Amino acid sequence: MKWGDWGLLTFLMIIFALYEWSKMDKGLKKERAAYAVLNVTVWMLSLLLVLFPKLPGPTQLVEAVLKPLSKILETK
């Protein structure tokens, strides 16, 4: 089932990217590059969540990084 989800996710990302890409002005090279980078990043994060559904979210990452810092700041 995960391969079906992976394939559907990839297909949808390609359709969305082609739709938006065709609407962008050809002279906007930096905007196109930024869109491509963001699209690939979102696609990779989505694949990670499909393949590893128990992966911790960004909130847990921020909490893990800032919790020791808050303890250091409280003691002073």
What is the residue-wise DSSP string for 18-62? Answer: HHHHHHS-TT-HHHHHHHHHHHHHHHHHHHHHHH-TT---HHHHH
- pLDDT class of 75 with cuts at 50, 70, 90: low
pLDDT digit string, tens, across residues 18-36: 898 888 888 888 988 999 9
Count how many domains the chain has: 1
Contact 32, 21 (CB under 8 A): yes
- pLDDT class of 37 with cuts at 50, 70, 90: very high
Domain that holds residue 33: 2-75
Amino acid sitting at position 18 = L
Question: What is the chain's mean pLDDT, rounded?
Answer: 85
DSSP state of 28: -
Cα–Cα distance, 49 to 1 (Å, whole number): 14
Q: Write down the pLDDT at residue 34.
A: 92
Cα–Cα distance, 64 to 71 (Å, whole number): 12
pLDDT surpassing 90 at residue 58: no
